[in-house]
Amino acid sequence: MKITIIGTGYVGLVTGACLAEIGNDVFCLDVDPRKIGILNNGGVPIHEPGLQEIIARNRAAGRITFSTDIEASVAHGDVQFIAVGTPADEDGSADLQYVLEAARNIGRYMNGFKVIVDKSTVPVGTAQRVSDVVRAELAQRGLADNAQHRFSVVSNPEFLKEGAAVDDFMRPDRILIGSDEDEDGLVAREKMKRLYAPFNRNHERTLYMDVRSAEFTKYAANAMLATRISFMNELANLADRVGADIEAVRRGIGSDPRIGYHFLYAGCGYGGSCFPKDVQALIRTAAEIGEHLRILEAVEDVNHAQKEVLVRKITKTLGEDLRGRTFAVWGLAFKPNTDDMREAPSRRVIADLLARGAHVRAYDPVATEEARRVFAMDLENAPEHLSRLHFTGTQDETLAGADALVIVTEWKEFKAPDFAHLKAVLKTPRIFDGRNLYEPDAMSELGIDYYSIGRPHVAIQNGSGVAV
């Protein structure tokens, strides 16, 4: 099939590359010539494991094209995927300007029947707005009632985890298709069924529903996952106070099959491009019709507060004034296997340390360049703070003479470091672990003062560990 992908961010690139991989003829459009230049020169503007190899293979086979030519992109695809960004607006609602501009361009240039697919995460009712915009453009062209210029808008939300997006697309646990029940909607459904047929060979993964339910399902899924994270973080903070071990609690409740283990890990808060903005957007959608989603409002509040927990542990131990102190920070991206810094907890942790006068040496396996850009913006009004932030090329370079190691992102390479070397090069053998990577008793035996989230602090006294 001939497919057009509008937008070459995470969702657009992964969707386009994976659809090309199964034999479709894919045209990827972006209005940013820098991105298209990178792609046409063999690069990829984002870090996503496996993506560059798939793109290179399909470019060589002539199955994927990258361009800024809007008219050519509309002419190419019978199915037009809108996969542009929907950032949070100032009031927390999803900003649909890029979605509606994509719809406007489709209406401006389309000739013949088109299936228009909302792949971006969009609020309930967006498909109707897209349809209205396309119809208005056709009316401008005098083609509103032309039988050759029919279209149908489908909701096909993505369920891709950054860092595992290629595998999620190629081996989906579900495929949602929301379409209308009129004649054009049924035609669109059949085209989508044909497109996704290769992913349903072992068993049927596709769920068909109405458009609004499909739009709502995406937000509901992310809101549930964010709720589990904030729920465990709030319990972890209580566990700190009462002397319980949140890891033991997690194993205890996760063993219940009605609950399960997924997204029950305590830490220093969630970030990224999805959970924060999707929770905000759902809260805003409810507010627009006079409803309050009290649980999600609490989820958001807990997550904001959780990003301060790690620094509170540091200041409780070392004092509020951190001038003259140096901290090694491992992990900058909001999660492993990505360079995404959007809403990353590291931004709050590092900014708070710098504001208290500390020096920070930070390392991340892939997100360093993106972090440089982000912190330059975050701290543009505080150049004296920025001057005390240094990025290193290896995790070991962060350690020498540091007063403590602070772990913010749970990269695999951080899970089994050389603790003897770490203890020798740190000024004080002290770790503040925002992702609970290590066992407190093991750290005590090694003579490392270890602070984690929701687990007893085991202090080091004369070489023996004492829980406090």
| Residues designated catalytic | 274
Quote the tokens at residue 236: 């972890």
Quote the tokens at residue 320: 């509020």
Closest to 29 (Cα-Cα) out of 18, 42, 38, 16: 16
**For residues 94 and 85, what is the distance between their CA atoms, to the nearest angstrom?**
9
Cβ atoms of 175 and 205 within 8 Å: the answer is yes
CB atoms within 10 A of CB 178: 27
